[in-house]
Amino acid sequence: MEILVTFPGGQRIDAQAGEFTLRTDQSKEHGGEGSAPDPFTLFLASIGTCAGLYVVGFCKTRNIPTDDIRIVERSESDPKTGRLVRVMLEVQVPASFPSQYRDGVARAAAACKVKKTLFDPPEVTVTTSVASADLSHSGADTGCR
């Protein structure tokens, strides 16, 4: 998969993933406009939404309606380093949810691909290259000097 990351101005950063544009910004307190979630919030949201996809799949195969189900995600960071140390997902189900599936739906949520990737992280490499002029938006040389 290829994602194109661009810089529309200020602290805003966009990621073009296929036909979708994921917009990010920093809060006003961090020099942004607060016009979109910050990238770390999107990262956290990817954990919860991925778990949600697994919950939906679990319920669909058992003909359990998902209208009144939700996931509450909470996270904790180390106060000294700011590093994320814990993410907790709580699958909240209505009283009508079949009791025999309550543990199973939590296991389904825990099986999400994003969560599994955190436990066996991929190698991330970063390089620099000079883009050809035909790749720039304006056709002009916009390189740093």
Q: Is residue 129 in some structural domain?
A: no
* Domains identified in the chain, total number: 2
Q: Is residue 143 in some structural domain?
A: no
pTM: 0.84
* pLDDT of 110 strictly over 60: yes
Pair (43, 110) in one structural domain:
yes
Pair (100, 66) in one structural domain:
yes
Q: Is residue 145 in some structural domain?
A: no
What pLDDT does residue 62 have?
Answer: 98
Pair (21, 85) in one structural domain:
no
* Domain span at 68: 39-123
Pair (57, 22) in one structural domain:
no
* pLDDT of 111 strictly over 60: yes
Mean pLDDT of the chain: 92
Distances (CA, A) of 69 to 35, 58, 61, 72, 102: 29, 12, 15, 10, 11
